[in-house]
Structure 1
Amino acid sequence: MTIPDYQTLMLPVLKAASGGDTRVPDVADRLADDLSLSETERDELLPSGRQRVLHNRIHWAKFYMTKAGLIDSPSRGRFRASDAGTALLATLPATIDVDTLKTYPAFLEWYEKPASTTGAAKAPVVRAAAVAEATPEEQIDSAHAIIHSALKADLLQRVLAQNPTFFEGVIVDLLVSMGYGGTHERAALRLGKSGDGGIDGVIDEDRLGLDRIYVQAKRYSAHVGVGRPEVQAFVGSLVGLGATKGVFVTTSTFSVPAVQFVEHLPQRVILIDGDRLAELMVEHDVGVRTSRTIKIKRLDEDFFADE
């Protein structure tokens, strides 16, 4: 038989994940046996030649169900059915697809929101029923937006799986890639070495060191937000040091009171939450690399224009 699409694979993947921690390769082997796939089908690669089709579709089935809260990722590369996923399986569903996932508020919020919160617009996600009406370019834009969102989620998960020293290194790499701190070596010496209460590090704003930016970094899980008291303590440290610029970075989120608190301060304090951190990492190629580049060419109307 042919390899099922990722929506058809959602139910089998969730069932496979209900037995405890597992990995995509393990699930792929199990499903390939259950589906009686041939060796050729098991080894079939994407057009890019970089990944097996079956593995890719299992990954997307897992990612979508993770967004609905049906799957947890307890450690690097491993996943399992969550309490919500187990509860869904107990209802003996015939299938699980995107429409099923849309009944979960967390998934619907992600599915409907723009791919970026930095002000850049995106094409809306092309729904399965609307593919026929969408132009090929609209389908490409929508697919790119979903891949981009998945990459950001994977980035944060991998950062959270590392130790605090690694997280400091991520911040160094990002700030240097953005043009701060001069050389990587100089930035690394300054960041994470301060030890001043409420301050994790200081980095030069420019190569000459004419001004400095003080940094606070909190590697929190998504459900542990940063509130106003922590931000207020950071600002208090800035005041004590006579500093005017600070960056507070977290892998989670900031509460509304925390965001409102920094809006009218005499100090310039930038809050970078997990979503924006991942966005900046992708933009500045920190922890990511280009997998493939697709060129879309158009007719050169000037070439065919009459003299």
Structure 2
Amino acid sequence: MEVLNNYPTFVDFRTSSEAGLPASEKQTAITIVPSSSATPEEQVEAAQNVLHSALRAELLQRIQENSPTFFERVIVDLLVGMGYGGSHENAALRLGKSGDGGVDGVIDEDRLGLDRIYIQAKRYASHVTVGRGEIQGFVGSLVGFGASKGVFVTTSSFSSNAVAYAKHLPQRVILIDGQRLTELMVEHDVGVRLNRAITIKRLDEDFFTDE
């Protein structure tokens, strides 16, 4: 943690991650358990949490340093990785091609295109918060398109009013902030790759059972 705290992007990421947590839960996910009270497996898991936190902070920094077009490509790759869009080519054609109507793109929910998800993408600096007004504008666009599903993605965060507003809408609107975005990228291997795999083996009790 002392090493990671030397990186401003990690400090910003940690601060935003802890913003809505009770004091008892802060830093739980990114603090290594002292070796005197932790098993080797617990230490490995805690170290993995720290590495993932640093990786997510670096992912967010690299996205913010790149162009809006790159950000759209990140969203395409992520949605396809999660099973939306049918194929990467079709997804890429749909996202970033609307250019009007208050949405940044639309992607098929499944391979047959039975339903569509409308997308708004905002590549903001970490200190810029997406407010309720921007969510309302996006919802207005959904109504104009006759759509019932939308995803609002930002590299920053959402205000509490924006989150509360999105929860009580007749439309299904999912808010993905910078923290959630990078969590999904790591989970679905977007922008990251496997560096090392650690296998932990246990004693096979069945092997030693004398029948």
TM-score normalized with structure 2 length: 0.90
Question: SS of the residue aligned with 1:182?
Answer: coil
Q: Unpaired runs of 5+ in structure 2?
A: 20-24
Q: Could you say which structure has the greater relative contact order, defined with CA pairs below 8 angstroms and 6 or more residues apart?
A: 2
1:195 is displaced (CA, Å) by: 1.5
Q: 1:107 to 1:188 in 2, by over 3 A?
A: closer
**The one of 160, 163, 173 aligned to 1:256:** 160
1:194 is displaced (CA, Å) by: 0.4
* Correspondences of 1:116-135 after superposition (within 5 Å): 125-127=31-33, 130-135=34-39
Residues 1:112 and 2:26 aligned together: yes
Question: SS of the residue aligned with 2:173?
Answer: strand
Question: SS of the residue aligned with 1:220?
Answer: coil
Aligned to 1:237: 141
Q: 1:69 to 1:179 in 2, by over 3 A?
A: closer
1:166 is displaced (CA, Å) by: 0.5
Question: SS of the residue aligned with 1:297?
Answer: coil
Q: 1:184 to 1:68 in 2, by over 3 A?
A: closer
Question: SS of the residue aligned with 2:62?
Answer: helix
Residues 1:214 and 2:118 aligned together: yes
Aligned to 1:66: 7
Aligned to 1:141: 45
Distance 1:265 1:208 in 2: 27
Q: Unpaired runs of 5+ in structure 1?
A: 1-5, 8-60, 73-104, 116-123
1:132 is displaced (CA, Å) by: 1.8
- The aligned amino acid for 1:191 is L
Aligned residues of 1:112 and 1:125 also touching (Cα < 8 A): no
Aligned residues of 1:126 and 1:134 also touching (Cα < 8 A): no
- The aligned amino acid for 1:131 is S
Aligned residues of 1:181 and 1:206 also touching (Cα < 8 A): yes
Aligned to 2:170: 266
Question: SS of the residue aligned with 1:171?
Answer: helix
Aligned residues of 2:84 and 2:110 also touching (Cα < 8 A): yes
Aligned residues of 2:18 and 2:26 also touching (Cα < 8 A): yes
1:137 is displaced (CA, Å) by: 1.1
Distance 1:298 1:153 in 2: 33
Aligned to 1:41: none
Of the two, which has the highest radius of gyration? 1
* Correspondences of 1:1-307 after superposition (within 5 Å): 7=2, 61=3, 63-66=4-7, 106=15, 109=18, 112-115=26-29, 125-127=31-33, 130-307=34-211
Q: 1:68 to 1:282 in 2, by over 3 A?
A: closer
Distance 2:31 2:114 in 1: 45
1:106 is displaced (CA, Å) by: 4.2
Aligned residues with identical type, % of pairs: 66
Q: 1:167 to 1:108 in 2, by over 3 A?
A: closer
TM-score normalized with structure 1 length: 0.63
Distance 1:202 1:281 in 2: 20
Aligned residues of 2:80 and 2:91 also touching (Cα < 8 A): yes
Distance 2:53 2:107 in 1: 30
Q: Deviations along 1:27-62, whole A, 9 cap, x unmatched?
A: xxxxxxxxxxxxxxxxxxxxxxxxxxxxxxxxxx2x
Q: 1:157 to 1:271 in 2, by over 3 A?
A: same
